Amino acid sequence: MAFPILSAKEAAAQIPHNANLGLSGFTASGSPKVITEAIAEKAVKEHEAGRPYKVNIFTGASTNNHADGALARANAIGRRTPYQNTPDLRKRINSHDAHYFDLHLSELAQKFRYGTYGDLDFAIIEVAKVFDNGEVVLGTGVGNVPTYARYAKKIFLELNNTLPEGLYGLHDIYMPLDPPNRREIPIYKPSDRIGTPTVKIDPAKIAGIVHSDAYDGIKGFTELDDVTLQIGANVCNFLLSEVKAGRIPSSFLPIQSGVGNVANAVLFGLGNAKELPPFEMYTEVVQDAVIELMKMGRCRFGSTCSLTLSDKTEAEVLSNIDFFRDKIVLRPAEISNSPEIIRRLGVIAMNTALEADIFGNINSTHVVGTKMMNGIGGSGDFTRNGYLSIFSCPSVTKGGLIGNIVPMVSHVDHSEHSVDILITDQGVADLRGKDPVQRAETIIDNCAHPMYRELLRDYLRMGKGGQTPHSLHASLAFHSAFLETGDMRNTDWAKFA
């Protein structure tokens, strides 16, 4: 069947104000790149003419500057979920120009199938290949494409000419039945395949194909510094001690790692920790560091939702796809982040915190409790279901002006009930089996920076009884001191005596 070939502008012209759009991809990988730019241009013209124009965006995770970035700059986003990391969109969210609801990544596909968010008017899907029967080979990210492809009324395909047809076979597309008819998802090791290499789309719903020559445009992370390297070393030393103690099997367990410089440092440490055996990953994102581990033989296999690689590393992988074909599988987000599978496999979950409090609660999303940074992403999927749940962060930022271990977090994403281990550049706090006061003492002694330890001990002593001795009138004093003076170290407990 021949599908219409459209320009991006022609596709955008069909999308009305307040339409619900499902976008392909997971991070910038596999996200649309040209139609969304055209929608943004349309929005600008509509606004100049005095007409309202916004669309509601549903994705797999974050996208890219061509999608979230362009649409946010055009003030063209009405609602947005489930995760984002674009500065322009962040500004819109924090100024309430865009309504963002932060959601665990594993949940969106099922909620959409049940109609929680209304009908899906359009899907925009980046593909590497289109077959005459409507089947498509996806790009480097899957996200929620299987659900969007099935439920969208109309579908535009962005055929990216930079993607090789050799991507065929890298994907494992599987959609579970919904409750009450769901059976187990039969994945028993990270390399298991249970689905198909293509997404099947009803040809009658394909409204057109738009050609693209754009790359994902992912930048490499900054060079690791002494702080992040120390965090990575502390994580590896802890995991090695767990193996020696018999709490992790000698054959090891699958690893999940978040994104960013701290996560990269942890992966770098795993690459150098020769005492640890080669391992597999069951994760949501494979980034540059994992590719290096595969080349070294340290990572045997990576099950993921996306290849979130810098352009340089992506080009290397795609040009050597036969080497990586038996080492990588790309899955939909509801499978890569499935609580069922994470629990079954015994995944070691390693994620990054913005701040942690002395009782073990984690803030992953809100700066000073109010300003959204990115979102919870998949950290909750893995944290709440992993065999071991590890959070890491630097003990201080901004040269010590901000202490990342605080009396009480200013926003809670992961409660004390979900956090097993906290690790900073200062050390490791094992919170398992400890009551709140014991957790606080362990975190202060092992994770807080020395310049903040006495302040935190003073706070703990101020507690007025109860199992968790908070001083509610003083619990956010660190944050107040920062807002008032620019330095958390200026906290004065005498104000609360």
Catalytic sites, residue numbers: 284
Site of tokens 């000073």: 368
Cα angle 474, 477, 479; round to 5: 145
- Contacts of residue 355, Cβ cutoff 8 Å, sequence gap at least 6: 362, 363, 393, 404, 405, 406, 409, 410
Entry field: residues in the chain: 497
CB < 8 Å & 24+ apart, contacts of 66-73: 66/31, 66/32, 66/33, 66/34, 66/36, 66/37, 66/214, 66/217, 67/23, 67/31, 67/32, 67/33, 67/36, 70/36, 70/37, 70/39, 70/40, 71/36, 71/39, 71/40, 71/43, 72/98, 73/40
Q: Say how far apart CA 210 and CA 324 lie, in whole Å.
A: 29
Tell me the residue ranges of DSSP E strands in 407-488. 421-424, 427-430
Q: Where are the alpha helices (DSSP H) in 348-475?
A: 379-383, 436-446, 450-462
Q: Say how far apart CA 100 and CA 206 lie, in whole Å.
A: 29
Phi, psi of 437 (to 5 degrees): -65, -40
Strands 366-367 and 371-372: antiparallel
In the chain, what is the straight-line distance between the N-terminal and C-terminal CA atoms, in Å? Answer: 77
Cα dist from 58 to 31, 61, 69, whole Å? 12, 9, 15
Cβ burial 157-167 (10 Å sphere, 16+ → b, else e)? bbbbebbeebb
- Contacts of residue 57, Cβ cutoff 8 Å, sequence gap at least 6: 21, 23, 67, 68, 71, 77, 79, 80, 81
Cα angle 253, 257, 260; round to 5: 160
Strands 55-58 and 20-23: parallel
- Contacts of residue 75, Cβ cutoff 8 Å, sequence gap at least 6: 43, 47, 54, 92, 97
Q: CA 294 from chain center: how many Å?
A: 21
Q: Say how far apart CA 60 and CA 375 lie, in whole Å.
A: 13
Radius of gyration of the chain (CA): 23
